[in-house]
């Protein structure tokens, strides 16, 4: 298969590119390196020393003899160039990771809200529009988030994308229908992901674009089999208050002896997946594309759910770290349950890496090894969700 990896320089995209290349697929990366520029803006880099794109590609060629293509282009702005890339490369599939993906970053200021909406909505729309314009039958696989469902489950297991509802007609007849699960975003970032869902539904209905939308949980871990092969291939590890996702942030905090900062009561339940399973799930999704005419296929890409405070105590027990309860910067319910169906991936043969298998290894092999690169002042999350919370706090620019 020839596959375009949009956002192939990022935390999920880079290991996916290597995984698919290693399996013998022809891989071409598209990325505008905006995530590296955001590192400069926030003055907070990856804990791991990520190599420049040219070095990454050369190292992969040297180790495997395999080529990775690369186009540095902005999917939200360079529509014509992206269309030409599609026409020249003629891919069988593309995987769309190329969005601003941090909820706290999206809430920092009006500028960050507007950037996130402009970037994410335009990038997704340009991808779909260009696929139709190219006349090619490209399978579009997109990385969505569990956050589109909101975090309330109304006492039921969250289904994979669609909800069965019973409609009573004016004549009193009862009919069963399936609708997109009602979206309930908790940040501007999550809102863009719910808008993505509508664009997929529309282009699928109107133009027959084949789409798989992967509703992914929080990714933890750093390396995969491929990125571990050489330090020049190392994956990024974000630990700062904006991009550091909860489990990786805790692992790093434990490694540097910084108390594990639990927001609010820590009663928020979140869904998780290891980066090795992310790349495997993308492979499975590409190997099992929807048929022509099939509606958008939605899969829940997660393997376990945990309450944040339980994770903190689990890591504290493993490492001796302290747990610190701090005010929650987000506007969300203090406690929630989350039960999620993930049968579709399990049926395709996913064999998940569990927290109990990998946690300690991650602390010692990555977080401790690169602890000297950490800037501890970047750990606290300073982004606040509402104007009331921000009253008296200097505005972020
Ligand atoms: P990331 O920020 O590390 O990678 C995203 C990549 O896309 C970056 O390399 C960035 O430079 C690129 N990009 C962004 N906008 C672009 C544009 N307009 N044109 C070209 N390139 C652009 O993020 P990630 O953690 O790898 O996440 C990838 C996807 O997976 C995101 O869409 C995210 O919403 C989703 N996801 C991630 C997680 C997680 O825990 N990391 C969880 C659920 C879903």
The reply to whether 224 falls in a domain is yes
Q: Is 194 left (phi over 0), alpha (psi -120 to 50) or beta?
A: alpha
The reply to whether 334 falls in a domain is no
The reply to whether 328 falls in a domain is no
DSSP annotation string for 277-297: HHHHHHHHHHHSPPPTTPPPE
User: Which residue's CA is minimally distant from atom 33 of ligand 1?
Assistant: 101
Q: What integer pLDDT is reported at residue 123 of this predicted model? A: 98
pLDDT in tens, 306-318: 999 999 999 999 8
Count other C-beta atoms under 10 Å from residue 121's C-beta: 18
Q: Which of 5, 101, 122, 276, when mutated, tests ligand 1's pocket best, judged by the most ligand atoms within 8 Å of its CB? A: 101
The distance in angstroms from the start CA to the end CA of the chain is 43
The reply to whether 243 falls in a domain is no
Spans in the chain with pLDDT lower than 50: none
Give the residue numbers marked as catalytic. Answer: 145, 189, 193
pLDDT in tens, 87-112: 999 999 999 999 999 999 999 999 99
- Cβ pair 59, 232 in contact under 8 A: yes
The reply to whether 7 falls in a domain is yes
- Cβ pair 87, 71 in contact under 8 A: no
The reply to whether 36 falls in a domain is yes
CATH code of the domain containing 291: 3.40.50.720
Count of structural domains within the chain: 1
The reply to whether 6 falls in a domain is yes
Residue range of the domain that includes 196: 2-238+274-302+342-353
Whether the complex's predicted ipTM surpasses the cut of 0.95: yes
Cβ–ligand 1 contact at 121 (below 6 Å)? no
Q: Which atom of ligand 1 lies nearest, measured to the CA of 36?
A: 11
The reply to whether 283 falls in a domain is yes
């Amino acid at each position: 298969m020839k596959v375009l990896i949009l956002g192939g320089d990022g935390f999920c995209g880079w290991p996916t590119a290597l995984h698919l290349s290693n399996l013998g697929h022809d891989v071409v990366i598209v990325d505008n390196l905006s995530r590296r520029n955001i590192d400069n803006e926030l003055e907070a880099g990856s804990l791991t020393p990520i190599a420049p794109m040219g070095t990454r590609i050369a190292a992969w060629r040297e180790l495997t003899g395999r080529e990775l293509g690369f186009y540095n282009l902005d999917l939200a702005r360079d529509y014509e160039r992206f269309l030409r890339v599609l026409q020249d490369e003629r891919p069988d599939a593309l995987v769309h990771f190329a969005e601003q993906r941090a909820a706290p970053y999206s809430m920092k200021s009006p500028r960050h809200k507007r950037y996130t909406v402009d970037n994410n909505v335009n990038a997704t729309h340009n991808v779909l529009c260009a696929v139709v314009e190219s006349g090619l039958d490209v399978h579009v696989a997109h990385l969505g988030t569990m956050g589109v469902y909101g975090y309330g489950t109304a006492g039921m297991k969250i289904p994979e994308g669609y909800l069965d509802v019973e409609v009573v007609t004016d004549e009193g007849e009862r009919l069963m229908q399936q609708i997109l699960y009602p979206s309930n975003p908790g940040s501007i970032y999550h809102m863009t992901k719910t808008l993505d869902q509508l664009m997929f539904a529309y282009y699928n209905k109107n133009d027959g674009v084949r789409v798989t939308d992967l509703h992914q949980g929080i990714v933890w871990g750093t390396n995969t089999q491929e990125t571990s092969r050489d330090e020049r291939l190392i994956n990024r590890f974000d630990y700062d208050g904006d991009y550091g996702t909860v489990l990786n942030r805790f692992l790093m905090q434990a490694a540097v002896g910084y108390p594990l900062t639990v927001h609010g009561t820590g009663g928020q339940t979140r869904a998780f997946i290891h980066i090795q399973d992310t790349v495997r799930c993308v492979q499975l999704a590409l190997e099992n594309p929807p048929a022509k005419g099939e509606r958008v296929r939605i899969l829940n890409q997660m393997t376990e759910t945990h309450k944040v405070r339980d994770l903190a105590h689990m890591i504290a027990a493993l490492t001796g770290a302290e747990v610190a309860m701090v005010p929650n910067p987000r506007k969300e319910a203090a406690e929630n349950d989350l039960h999620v169906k993930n049968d579709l991936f399990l049926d395709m043969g996913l064999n998940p890496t569990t927290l109990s298998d990998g946690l300690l290894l991650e602390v010692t092999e990555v977080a401790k090894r690169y602890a000297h690169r950490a800037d501890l002042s970047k750990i606290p999350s300073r982004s606040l969700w509402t104007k009331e919370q921000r009253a008296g706090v200097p505005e972020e620019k």
